[in-house]
Chain A
Amino acid sequence: MTRDFLLLWPHLKRYRWRYGLGALCLAGAVASRIAIPYFLGESIDTLRAGAERETELGDSGLGAQSIKSLVLWGAGSIVVAAAIGALIRTASRILILGTSRRVVSDVRRDLFDHLLRLSPSFYIENTTGELMSRCVNDVRNVQGLMGPVFMYLAETAVVYLFCLTVMASKSPDLTLICVLPIPLFVISSRFLAGRIQRGSRRAQAKLAEVSAKTDESISGHTVVQALGIEALDAERFDKRAEEYRELNLEVTRARGVLSPLMGGLAALCLLLVLAVGGPRVMRGELSLGDFISILFYLQMLAAPTGVMGFVISSLQRGRAALRRLCEVFDADLTMLDPAGPGPAPDKGGGLSVRDLSITLGGSERRLSDGEGTTQERLPERLVLEGIDFEVQPGKTLGIVGLTGSGKTTLLRVLARELEVDAGSVFLGGRDVTELRLDDVRSRVGYVPQETFLFSKSLAENVSLGRIEATREEILRAAEDSRLSEDLDQLPDGLETMLGERGVNLSGGQRQRTALARVLLLDPELLLLDDTLSAVDAHTAEEIMERLRPLMAGRTTVIVSHHLAHLSAADEIIVLEDGRIGERGSHEQLLAQSGFYKGLWERQEMRERLEREVESFEGDVS
């Protein structure tokens, strides 16, 4: 637990002056608030004393004048106290709440910094949604802890300290009697706040169900209509809407106890003061002014008591959020550079893989939510086993295999995204695990299967790996990947904004962007993971045509389902369940009459038929 708070320590230390000054201002602000009932009480005593003296002496004029000036002095003091109070109160809030925003902003920056350095396996085990929840919800809860919770606790402590001191100086036993019921109310507030927050969470979850049900029915509206089950489906929606209503009313029931209860606290305190203090005022043991100021002090004490329960809940939530953030900070970093990195490999070196095996999964996965943490162990799976191959500089290796045979994993290992488990990978004759990551990654151009585009301009997406690239270079890369032919269809050409606020590219356009991105890097080792799957056959052929000269100068590994793209490769391996099933050149594989040959024949026939169908369609239309 304390270890979790250590996460915040450096930030707290950095901002200790702000927090300290804020706490000081807070104390000052509370003091000025305390002063107001005090001046009020004093003035009332002055008025009463004046009244009594007047009845005794029948003397007016001068007495009244001096009383008036005394009261004016009291009122003036209140104005001054209030004005100063308002100023330092604002200052204290800005200091404390503002600093909590600064602390949290720093935590968020550190968190993102850390995320940038976490290994790919971390991202395989944690979904984007879960990580977003860490970055958004948990950080928000920590902010609550550092700001409002801290301020409230400090303020309440100071208010209690000051109020009780001043009250006790006026009438110690009366103070004690009036304060007695307060702990009871704190406990019940705690209990009710817990109920309200649990209830609200349940209601929120139910609203999510309402939303999911709506989504289901809208997505399946044709089925609902075709089956004529509108009434049944509506009943199901109604059930959720009704449950949502009931959960909300439950929350209101708890609120409906808490809010009057806290009003009741103020009333009870008032009653006690009247019952106990009233007779004393009559007996002259307590001045009327003190009596009235105690009335106002009690209201000041009662106010924060009501929200105490919520503060305790926020405190707990903040602590839990802090723990979850620490989990992320504790996660393994990505592959680091080796302790004594070897010299960079020679330029234009080949690729060689020896007895490579990769196991994925097996790590603990924590699923945390608002309620708690459950652990799930992902099953361990041998994805690649005993892979052996060599690609000479400038040569091309083709890889085929069914979905799930380990093609993508192999490429991710070659791109140094996944760590080498067993066996070794040599780049330019050197073991990649002994090289600096940068030395490897700057030589490798990896086009992953899934194209990820950022919400930036197309040009920025292409120059992702080389921001300094000139426009000519970008255009050439776009030309080589045949992205160029679509440029005039896009509203702003290369400057077209992509993503949520921009244009959505088609699958083929996305893949060509990813290809251009890598070609711009001019890598020595080119890794293409089924890069042209969404590009139409004609364009794919054109791209391959343009790639061939580019591939001649570099070592290339191509994964493709489309065998025509592989037929020119120097060697082709067929992956079957993580092992090499068949290997050889295109001709050798065709001679083997195995998986490769079967696939080749089917693709051949399909292409022929497609051409026929095309020409047929030409006939009818």
Chain B
Amino acid sequence: MSEARNKRESASWDARLFLRLWEFVRPHQHLLWIGLGLLLLTSGARLLSTYLVKIAIDDHLIPGVQQGLMGLLMAFAGVNLVELLARRSQMLTIDRAGHNALRDLRCKLFRHLQKQSARFYDKHRTGTLVGRITTDVEALYELFSSGVVTILGDVFFLTATIAILLSLDWRLTLVTMTVVPVLLLATTIIRRYVRSAYETMRSRTGQMNGFLHENVGGMSLIQIFRREHKARGEFTEINTGVRDAQLSTVVWESTLSATTEMLGSFTTALILWYGGGLVVESMGGPRPADLGSWSGGLTLGILYSFVDYMQKFFTPLSDLSQKYTVLQNAMTAGSRIFGLFDTDESIKEAEHPVEAPPARGLIEFRDVHFAYDPSEPVLRGLSFRLEAGERVAVVGATGAGKTTLMKLLTRLYDVDAAADGTRAGGVFLDGVDVRDWRLNALRQRVGVVQQEPFLFEGTVLDNIRLGQSHVDPKLARAAATRLGLDECLERLPRGYDEPILERGKNLSAGEKQLVAFARILASEPEVLVLDEATANVDSHTEALLQSAEKEVLRGRTSLIIAHRLSTVIDADRILVMQKGEIVEQGNHESLMQQRGLYWRLCKLQLGSAGAGDAEQAEAGASLNT
């Protein structure tokens, strides 16, 4: 219901909206103009076709003139052929213009979304954004498919019809046209009822589907609690509501179509009555009477053409209010889409990015403040340094801010500015603030392995070479072989060329990890951020993963969000984080001697070491709890 209200509120005649939409149509406007031209041709041919029949009646059938009839028939066939061809081409060109423009709009919107930072995505739900790119763009397409775009063609057709009718007989035209306001008024009013009946039906149907979804999903509960009777009663009520709403749409739609048809027939009667009168009157006129041929009077052919023209006249006229609805919906969709374009929270590259400094692998966090939500600071003045080639493990409880480190280094988020808006502190890579780096260069230099590697469509090999199309496939494969991926992929029929299913569901968690490691080996970044997986894998894969991790870490400055004890023990330095601050640091031995938080965390981990794999996950015993 609120949806419907929103629709009305935002469906304003906003010229700027049209201009913005026009930006996307402009590159394809030639198609639109051609289509419009063809539409005029079609309209002209339709009008001419009726006129030719009128000539046939008046000049040949009634006076009995055989001569020229053949030619007339040929012309009739020709005109109709032209109309058909023109109509076909017009449909194709207009539709092509629409689909081209909206494809461009879609692709541009997608790119806009792509650029947005994680902050943007914190605020917008995925489902809503997907709706913008699909449903809302479709609503704009309706402008093309329903003929709103070609309304000029309708206007031409209606005007031309009136002009022809006036030239045939102005009195009869005026009388006939009295039906038009009645038709417009009637269709507009009835359509309003049709629309509101449909709205009720849609909302009730949605309610019913929700009920069904919930009850089918919770069926076992209904059965156990013996609620069948109650559920049946509720459904009957909802179902009856849907049925009644449907019945009301049937009533109003039937009324609409019957009224339109009735008014059409009334028009015929009107033409016959008044026109017939004119025909009779002209009989009494001074001219000798060959009914078909004298000018000025009303002929039977004209009578026929009036009836036929008015039938053709009614269709676009009664569609007008429908087109208005389409237009309103499109305006709403358009304002939502362009509203999204106007929201820009992308991470911006510096205006004058610094040339990438020579690669050394130095990372420094200097007085870093950061909060996802201003009221809950995550990092409060964090500072630490990673020397070139150093391997640093970060440990701490969930919510201590470990993953945030990774997001700041790769610029998924930016470090919070000081209260006065100037830069306070920052994250530095090889001595340069990451905000001054060219984004591409930064992301080339920093490799990331996320906890749950995200695989994209394409083959396994494509995923290893993801974003590194310059890497020789052979090298990529060699890297994977080095990590022992060959053995895992044996079970897949096409091995490295096996297509990855949606979100990589045909690979196990361990295999996905290995693919992510192979990706790093192939792309050779100087700096590595590794968020160790907590997902439990079988012991064989675990061994493979451990050795793969060693391989990947070798010789790179690495920041590891560690969950595996062995990783932590092997690290050059360990940072123990708690509530956005580093509370302890040092190597394993020194920290154990301190008998602080680290020592306790270690004992916890050791306590569950050696437990069954599944049990380990269930007990949740790892360093980050």
Q: Which residue numbers of A lie inside 8 Å of B, CB to CB?
A: 33, 36, 39-40, 43-44, 47-48, 50-51, 54-55, 60-61, 64, 67-68, 71-72, 74-76, 78-79, 81-83, 85-87, 89-90, 93-94, 97-98, 101-102, 105, 108-109, 112-113, 115-118, 120, 123, 128, 131-132, 135-136, 207, 210-212, 214-230, 232-234, 236-238, 241-242, 244-245, 248-249, 252-253, 255-257, 259-261, 263-264, 267, 270-271, 274-275, 278-279, 281-283, 288, 291-292, 295-296, 299, 334, 402-403, 415, 417, 438, 441-442, 444, 446, 448, 452, 454-455, 464-465, 467, 499-500, 517, 521, 561, 598-599, 602-603, 605-606, 609-610, 612-613, 616-617, 620-621
Cβ A132 vs Cβ B277 within 8 A: no
* B19 interface contact, C-beta 8 A: no
Name A83's closest neighbour in chain B (CB-CB): B262
Given contacts A76-B269, A90-B254, A132-B213, contact A245 B88 (CB under 8 A): no
- CB proximity of B516 to chain A, nearest CB, Å: 10
A402-B612, A448-B221 are known contacts. Are A274 and B73 too (CB-CB below 8 A)? yes
Binding site for A on B (CB under 8 A): 49, 53, 56-57, 60-62, 64-66, 69, 73, 76-77, 80, 83-85, 87-89, 91-92, 95-96, 99-100, 102-103, 106-107, 110-111, 113-116, 118, 121, 126, 129-130, 133-134, 138, 209-210, 212-228, 230-232, 235-236, 239-240, 242-243, 246-247, 250-251, 253-255, 257-259, 261-262, 265-266, 268-270, 272-273, 276-277, 279-281, 283-284, 288-291, 300, 303-304, 307, 311, 347, 397, 407, 410-412, 439-440, 443-444, 446, 448, 450, 454, 456-457, 466-467, 469, 502-503, 578-579, 583, 596-597, 600-601, 603-604, 607-608, 611-612, 614-615, 618-619, 621
State which of A123, A259, A270, A621 has its C-beta within 8 Å of the C-beta of B53: A270
Knowing A132-B216, A288-B62 touch, does A606 contact B615 (C-beta < 8 A)? no
Cβ–Cβ contact B250 & A98, under 8 A: yes
Complex Cα–Cα for A221 and B619 (A): 32
Given contacts A215-B130, A228-B443, A263-B87, contact A75 B276 (CB under 8 A): yes
Additional 15 contacts, C-beta under 8 A, given A82-B261, A237-B110: A43-B272, A48-B291, A78-B269, A86-B259, A86-B262, A112-B231, A135-B212, A210-B134, A215-B130, A220-B454, A267-B80, A417-B220, A464-B227, A603-B619, A620-B579
CB contacts between A and B, total, < 8 Å: 409
Q: How far is the CA of A602 from the CA of B303 in the complex (A)?
A: 99
CB distance from A243 to the nearest CB of B (A): 10
Shortest Cβ distance from A589 into chain B, in angstroms? 16
Set of chain B residues within 8 Å of A415, measured between Cβ atoms: 224
Which residues on the A side are within 8 Å of B242 (C-beta)?
A: 105
- Give chain A residues whose Cβ lies under 8 Å from the Cβ of B288: 55
Contact A259 B91 (CB under 8 A): yes
Would you call A120 and B223 a contact (CB within 8 A)? yes
Specify the chain B residue showing the minimal Cβ separation from A291. B61
Known: A82-B265, A128-B217, A226-B448. A212 touches B502 (CB 8 A): yes
Assuming the contacts A112-B232, A613-B600, A620-B578, asked whether A86 and B258 have C-beta atoms less than 8 A apart, the reply is yes
B216, B258, B268, B283: the one within 8 Å of A40 (CB): B268
Cα distance, A89 to B503, chains bound together (Å): 55
| B107 & A237 in contact (Cβ 8 Å cutoff) | yes
In the assembly, what is the distance between CA of A100 and CA of B502, in Å? Answer: 41
Pairs across A and B, CB under 8 Å, 26 listed? A36-B265, A40-B268, A76-B273, A86-B258, A94-B254, A115-B216, A117-B228, A120-B220, A128-B217, A216-B503, A218-B113, A218-B130, A220-B456, A225-B412, A227-B467, A249-B96, A252-B95, A260-B84, A278-B69, A279-B66, A292-B304, A417-B220, A417-B223, A454-B215, A603-B619, A620-B583
Q: How far is the CA of A499 from the CA of B397 in the complex (A)?
A: 32
- Judged by DSSP, the binding face of A is helix
Q: Are B272 and A40 in contact (CB under 8 A)?
A: yes
CB distance B76 to A50 under 8 Å? no
Question: Residues of B contacting A236 with CB < 8 Å?
Answer: 456-457
Contacts of A613 in B (CB 8 A): 397, 597, 600-601, 604
In angstroms, how far is the closest chain B Cβ from the Cβ of A120? 5
- A465 B225 Cβ-Cβ under 8 A: yes
CB of A228 within 8 A of CB of B100, answer no
